Amino acid sequence: MDWVLIYTDAARNAAQTLQVPLQWVLGVIGAESSFQAPAQTWEPAAAEYSYGPMQVLGSTARGLGFQGALGDLMAPETGIYWGTAYLRQLIDRYGFDFDSVISAYNRGHADKVAGAGYIARVTAWLGQLPADLAALAADASSNDSGAALALLAGAGVLYFSTRQKGRRYVRS
């Protein structure tokens, strides 16, 4: 099984439901957890734990409406959904400015200079996604002929294809 496909179904479902570019979701999963087993990590700057494949803070998930036990965020479907919900909130705030959204995901606010290292990590993961991810994104949006396709094709796929065109890495 391809390494990126471990969480693809959960990522695709969350991206489609919340109209967030699938590449951005997968890039954050790569940067936060390297697609490894869900984890709980102490975040000293926030003085709390982050959870799951997207390493979402418990307070962030709660602020978005999550009501379960914090450990539930380690389940791929749950953690990816709430991490994607946070990306959606940031897109609503900053638009489809990739650097601002990704910096804010990591830092809590858009600071492209201070967040440059994290932006680079997410971008590096985008470069490692399989070349056929654009087809995955199209499949994810095929049930919604409106906004989701425009968001994925306009922001996510375009960003992926222009910044990382022709790169393909597959790991098993």
Could you state, in chain order, the average pLDDT of each consecutive group of 10 residues for the chain (172 residues)? 66 96 94 84 92 95 97 93 98 95 90 84 85 53 35 31 28 26
Please say whether the structural domain 3-164 has been given the CATH code 1.10.530.10.
Answer: yes
Q: Shortest CA distance to 144 belongs to which of 13, 9, 39?
A: 13
| Residue 34: per-residue pLDDT | 87
| Residue 136: per-residue pLDDT | 54
Angle, alpha carbons 38-128-133 (nearest 5°): 90
| Residue 140: per-residue pLDDT | 45
Q: What pairs with residue 42 in β-bridges?
A: 49
Position 96: which residue type?
Answer: F
Tokens of 139: 């499949």
| Residue 87: per-residue pLDDT | 98
As a whole number of angstroms, the distance between CA 161 and CA 69 comes to 38
Helix axes 8-18, 22-33, angle to 10 degrees: 130
| Residue 26: per-residue pLDDT | 92
| Residue 62: per-residue pLDDT | 97
| Contact criterion met (CB below 8 Å) for 93 and 104 | yes
The beta strands (E) that lie in the chain are given as 40-43, 48-51, 56-57
